Amino acid sequence: QKEVEQNSGPLSVPEGAIASLNCTYSDRGSQSFFWYRQYSGKSPELIMSIYSNGDKEDGRFTAQLNKASQYVSLLIRDSQPSDSATYLCARGASGGSYIPTFGRGTSLIVHP
C-alpha cells in the first residue's frame, strides 16, 4: 500500500473557482508535509510546506493538515488556467529515515 494516496484526477474546475486537492497518509509518525506543482515536461516545484495541524496560507494557496484524520489538503483560490498542472503531495522522512514519500499526483485542469 502506497503510504501517500492521492486521487489521480483529472480535477477540472472553472477559472475563478476554488480547487481542492486532497491527500491521505498512513504513517502517524509523519511530521512534515509538502505540496509540489509539476507542469508537463518540467520538474516538481515546492509550493507549500506544513508541519502543524490547521491551515497555512500563502497568497492564493492554503494548505490544511489534520494529523488525527491523517489527511493533507491544498486549496487554490481564484484558480487560473496557469494553475493547470499535476500537484504532488509528499510526506517528509521521519523516524530516522531520510526517505520522503510522494503521492502519484493529482492532475488539475482549470478551464477558462
Partner 1 sequence: NAGVTQTPKFQVLKTGQSMTLQCAQDMNHNSMYWYRQDPGMGLRLIYYSASEGTTDKGEVPNGYNVSRLNKREFSLRLESAAPSQTSVYFCASSEAGSGGGGAQYFGPGTRLLVL
100 belongs to the binding site for partner 1 (CB under 8 A) = yes
Nearer to partner 1, 92 or 109 (CB): 92
* Smaller CB separation from partner 1, 25 or 34: 34
Beta strands in 26-95 (DSSP E): 33-38, 45-50, 54-58, 61-66, 71-76, 85-91
**How far from 5 is each of 27, 40, 73, CA to CA, in Å?**
12, 21, 12
Q: Does 99 engage in binding with partner 1 (CB under 8 A)?
A: yes
The residue within the footprint of partner 1, chosen from 62, 72, 76, 103 (CB under 8 A), is: 103
- Closest Cα to residue 63, out of 45, 36, 92? 36
Interaction pattern, residues 10-49, with partner 1; x per rule: CB under 8 A: ---------------------xx-x-x-----xxxxx--x
Pick the closer one to partner 1 by CB: 14 or 51: 51
Nearest alpha-carbon partner for 71 in 16, 1, 6: 6
How big is the chain by its Cα radius of gyration, in Å? 13
Residue closer to partner 1, measured from CB, 48 or 110: 48
Whole-number Cα distances in Å, 6 to 16, 85, 97: 23, 14, 22
Chain residues that interact with partner 1, rule: CB under 8 A = 31-32, 34, 36, 42-46, 49, 88, 90, 92-100, 102-105
